[in-house]
Copies of this chain bind each other. A is one copy, B any other.
């Protein structure tokens, strides 16, 4: 899947996730009309990501958020009970998103090499479209309440496990070299994360997401692969 295809695919699903967020928090959201809620949730989430990524969630005041969204303090508080709840809602959406698209991306593929390519591309494309979200999630993870924090760690481990499994299956069927799969997956993940953590750097250097994907796959391939990598893209 190319980035353009992926982008189109994801834009259409985005509304569904806001609907799900609404469903999960129907008890605290006091506004009745669904259309209204979806529009305002998107405003609130967008503004939260923007402001938090500039100066951190803790430093963002509710008055800042009010100004940025154009909603009054009172109006804001009819969508959640506390500032921290915004954090939880955002995290919840992000986790669902990531899980869905990563699993979807690899489910068609059988060969480890192809699976790896699909998973790496899916992760990069996803974090490209949702950059603000991924950045936020990474930077604010330690500020989450305990319950949320353990969910976040679980989600991290899920992603890493996914890559480890692909590498291990490749090793077992002889397609890949004998390497430490878990450590390799861990390093791969670090490089995937760098894409959304330092996006400004890559943008200013004119590195596209597809170029970065290709580069990562070449590097991993040179390390684990028995033959040169072919672009499955």
Contacts and interface: CB of A to CB of B under 8 A. Distances in A.
A142 B56 contact: yes
Contacts of A212: 183
A190 interface: yes
A104 interface: no
A154 interface: no
Q: How many copies does the complex hold?
A: 2
Contact of A216 (B59, B187, B194, B218): B187
A187 B213 CA distance: 12
A191 B183 contact: no
Nearest to A192: B190
Interface in A188-217: 189-191, 193-194, 198, 201-202, 205, 207, 212, 215-216
A216 B212 CA distance: 19
Interface residues of A, number: 32
Task: State the 8 A-B residue pairs at the shortest beta-carbon distance, nearest first.
Answer: A190-B194, A58-B58, A58-B59, A222-B223, A187-B191, A190-B190, A219-B223, A190-B191
A180 B189 CA distance: 20
Contacts of A142: 53-56, 139
Contacts of A189: 194
17 contacts: A53-B142, A54-B142, A55-B58, A56-B143, A58-B59, A139-B139, A180-B215, A183-B212, A183-B215, A186-B194, A186-B198, A187-B191, A187-B194, A187-B215, A190-B190, A190-B198, A218-B223
A43 interface: no
Nearest to A189: B194
Interface string A157-193: 0000000000000000000000010111011011101
